[in-house]
Amino acid sequence: MEYIIIIIGAVFVNNIVLAQFLGICPYLGVSAKVSTSVGMSGAVMFVMTLATLVTFLIFNYILIPLNIEYLQTISYILVVASLVQMVEIILKKVSPALYQALGIFLPLIVTNCAILGVTILAVREDFGFNLLESVVFAIGNALGFALTIVLFAGIREHLDLVDVPKGMRGAPAALVVAGILALAFMGFANLV
Amino acid sequence: MGQLQNFTKGFVKENPVFVLLLGLCPALGVTTSAFNGLGMGLATTFVLVSSNIVVSLIKDLIPAKVRIPSFIVVIASFVTITQLVMEAYMPALFDSLGLFIPLIVVNCLVMGRAEAFASKNDTWSAIVDGLGMGLGFAFALTLLGGLREILGAGEFFGMTIFPGDGMLVFVLAPGAFIGLGYLVALNNIVKKKLEKTA
């Protein structure tokens, strides 16, 4: 039950994109088509879950015992960057089909602040997550990312057909649409 | 390009937020008030200028293959410095910016300038570029923060402008997206006007 609450909280109530403003760059950058947004969501889910698992262990079993929590930012970004690199190499070898699907999105993920943000949030003291809970938290956030980016891409495909005022074309119109989506997601507030 | 142009390009023509659409996460996340926007903008400027200086100094020492990880370590070190200094001397601002301070590391703006500019230019140009881009970022964040604060709470830098309750939605998440959308549109129009007169 607790895990379900974590997932619902992460997907709907504190949605990573629309409520916490993480991962806006890929959200606007790769949401022009539904198919690319699905690929991006897959890559994010994969890396986010793995990165949270690894950084949780590093934080609790290396940084805290050695009393060097202030190195959190540096060590996390290195973990995320090398993890992405490693995943890329392994995928290329083991599953060329999956690599084809996720390939171009993987390097982009290093600078996706959603990944670093979730790994930092997952070890926050006020949440007090254990290992399994933080992994579930990561999966929930990845699902939330997937839901919003696919929804958004669906809307943007239709937006191309609409007569938008000249100055608002492109990014401004997309941002206003994102705002309206965020407004809709506010309806989930206080759900859990 | 003259140094003056190098400095001013970050404000309208190549504004990181309005034109390049870089660093949008903090731009949307912390701009509930003009003060928060300014604080975040200045913190990013500090990291940007410092990392630009270091990157331009060490650009000949690091092999091309490992340059991205090296840049990341340089940036992350300055972010950690900012984080510790802010926690010690500005705890209130530190609390309201929260998660977005460590996330300066993954602000594409900082990495982008290190890779696209500082690694190819001399230190002096890199400082000017960092200052211009950073202050352009701070300008954009303050503008968005001010807009949201005025419309949402009727205040500007904490001073009351309109008494009574504002439109709460502008302080909440949707207002950030909508406010930024209109500011980007406005910047597009201003940019076109400037190009016509030039």
Across the interface, whether the CB atoms of B173 and A74 are under 8 A apart is answered no
Tens-place pLDDT, residues B12-51: 777 888 887 788 888 888 888 888 899 999 999 999 999 9
Mutate to test the interface with A, among B24, B32, B44, B84 (most CBs of A within 10 A): B24
Judge whether B105 is closer than 8 Å to chain A, CB to CB.
Answer: yes
**E strand or H helix that includes residue B160:** strand B159-160
Confidence of residue A150 (pLDDT cuts 50, 70, 90): very high
What digits encode the pLDDT tens for the residues A42-100? 888 888 999 999 999 999 898 888 988 888 888 988 888 888 888 888 878 887 877 77
Contact A78 B73 (CB under 8 A): yes
Per-residue pLDDT at A167:
79
- Residue of B99, B144, B192 to mutate, interface with A, max A Cβ within 10 Å: B99
Q: Are B113 and B50 in contact (CB under 8 A)?
A: no
Buried b or exposed e, range B99-127, using 16+ CB within 10 angstroms = bbbbbbbbbbbbbbbbeebbbebeeebbb
Distant-in-sequence, close-in-space partners of A96: CB < 8 Å, separation ≥ 6: none
By CA distance, what is B70's nearest residue in A? A78
Enter the pTM of the model: 0.85
> Is the model more confident about A53 or about B196?
A53
Nearest CA distance, B2 vs chain A (angstrom): 30
Identify all chain B residues contacting A74, using CB atoms and an 8 Å cutoff.
73, 76-77, 80
Reported as a pLDDT band with limits 50, 70 and 90, residue A103 is low
| A168 with B181: Cβ contact below 8 A | yes
- Contacts A–B by Cβ distance under 8 A: 116
| Contact state of A174 with B106 under an 8 Å Cβ cutoff | no
Choice between A189 and B130, residue whose per-residue pLDDT is larger? B130
Q: Report helix, strand or coil for B155.
A: strand
| Cβ atoms of B156 and B150 closer than 8 Å | yes
Give ipTM to 2 decimals: 0.83
Query: What is the pairing mode between strands B159-160 and B155-156?
Result: antiparallel
Q: What confidence score (pLDDT) does residue B149 get?
A: 87
Predicted pLDDT at B38: 92
pLDDT score at B45: 93
Kindly tell me if the per-residue pLDDT of A119 is higher than 80: yes
Residues of B in contact with A179 (CB under 8 A): 174-178, 181
Round to the nearest angstrom and report the end-to-end CA distance of chain B.
Answer: 16
Phi, psi of B101 (to 5 degrees): -75, -55
